[in-house]
Structure 1
């Protein structure tokens, strides 16, 4: 069974952790993230307030607006949700003798290197790395986050769910997983979406 889409694997895929369709999707997402016209590079054009929708910046208060969109800026930082996880996986694969870290150059160059390295070793990973499904979910999430901002889409709505310990967690359909702040239980994507919705009073 494919660890990503949970479909039965074909006869020639039984030695793999994911089917070829899911593997090709990860490869395509890595390809679309990198490069001078890739999603990561295009985030720079969305830093100004109002650029997400293509319209002018509008503020409902008398205070001056923040000069940059912090949500987009966070995606562009070295430790943010794009480059940070990419290089974490490169380090992981380097420890297994299948990659080489390169933290020289600009952030864009580091993203390009990480994506190229992970793509080059993708077929090895899908047949040898037991956490390939976790890797695929993280790539999907960063690709989705970048696409939302580049395309000017509204981010998926977060819904409050309740952990058995009573803590309220806010998750969306593209949440790859979450750790409960109350009891430290780690939930995967499908597990966290099965948690009951929080009552309105608890979610407030």
Structure 2
């Protein structure tokens, strides 16, 4: 008879505590998702800061570089793609629609400009976050996509540089790349999953292997 593996968080792969057993994600991962949602919203949030980063030289920590024979683009494409329709707001709205459909709720409504819509969708996602962490089948996918959006917004607005990825070696020999804020990682070669602390404890990969 095989032992049943202990339930673990679908995001960081850490074991769940007794009061978390009905949830898919542990409390620290759920709290991190909530913080990332809050970081996007508001007049001083990451999404609002994208507008200040649209012109060359803005949001990058220094003045625009001159002397090039080619005229610079009038706007920076990275923050534009995130700020425009189809970017951050649309992605979050798509997730909210999915959550509403899973709950048999009415289709959400969007009012105002994109900043106002961003604030609305973030508020609603936060309201439904406890349910999603417990019941939604793709909550881990939502958490990872949200984390990616936040990091892109931070990089595009000059808020933070993208975290450096460090090559580490799985027990099977495959090289994985992790960051200090890696929630968890799964080895594509042997399907072994590592939680946050386990991933950071893996040995550094040899330079030639990386």
Regarding TM over 0.5, the answer is yes
Structure 1 residue 51 displacement after superposition:
1.2
Partner of 1:202: none
State the alpha-carbon separation in 2 of the partners of residues 83 and 193 from structure 1. 35
Identify which range, 83-92 or 59-68, moves more after superposition: 59-68
Alignment match of 1:135 (pick from 129, 142, 145): 142
Gap change, CA 1:152 and 1:28, over 3 Å in 2: closer
Alignment match of 1:4 (pick from 1, 11, 30): 11
For the aligned residue pairs, the C-alpha RMSD in angstroms reads 3.0
> What is the 5 A alignment of 1:1-204?
1-59=8-66, 61-80=68-87, 82-96=88-102, 97=104, 100-155=107-162, 190=186
Structure 1 residue 154 displacement after superposition:
4.0
State the alpha-carbon separation in 1 of the partners of residues 77 and 189 from structure 2. 27
Gap change, CA 1:147 and 1:79, over 3 Å in 2: same
State the alpha-carbon separation in 2 of the partners of residues 84 and 157 from structure 1. 28
- Which structure ranks higher in relative contact order (CA pairs < 8 Å, sequence separation ≥ 6)? 2
Structure 1 residue runs without a partner (length 5+): 159-170, 177-188, 195-204
Normalising to structure 2: TM-score of the pair? 0.72
- Alignment deviations for residues 155-193 of structure 1 (CA, whole Å, 9 cap, x no partner): 4579xxxxxxxxxxxx9969x9xxxxxxxxxxxx63569
State the alpha-carbon separation in 1 of the partners of residues 154 and 142 from structure 2. 18
Asked if the contact 1:47/1:68 (under 8 Å) is kept, the reply is: yes
Q: Report how many aligned residue pairs link the two structures.
A: 173
Q: Which has the larger radius of gyration?
A: 2
Structure 1 residue 61 displacement after superposition:
2.9
Q: Name the SS of the counterpart of 1:121 in structure 2.
A: helix
Asked if the contact 1:4/1:133 (under 8 Å) is kept, the reply is: yes
Structure 2 residue runs without a partner (length 5+): 1-7, 166-176, 191-210
Gap change, CA 1:155 and 1:13, over 3 Å in 2: closer
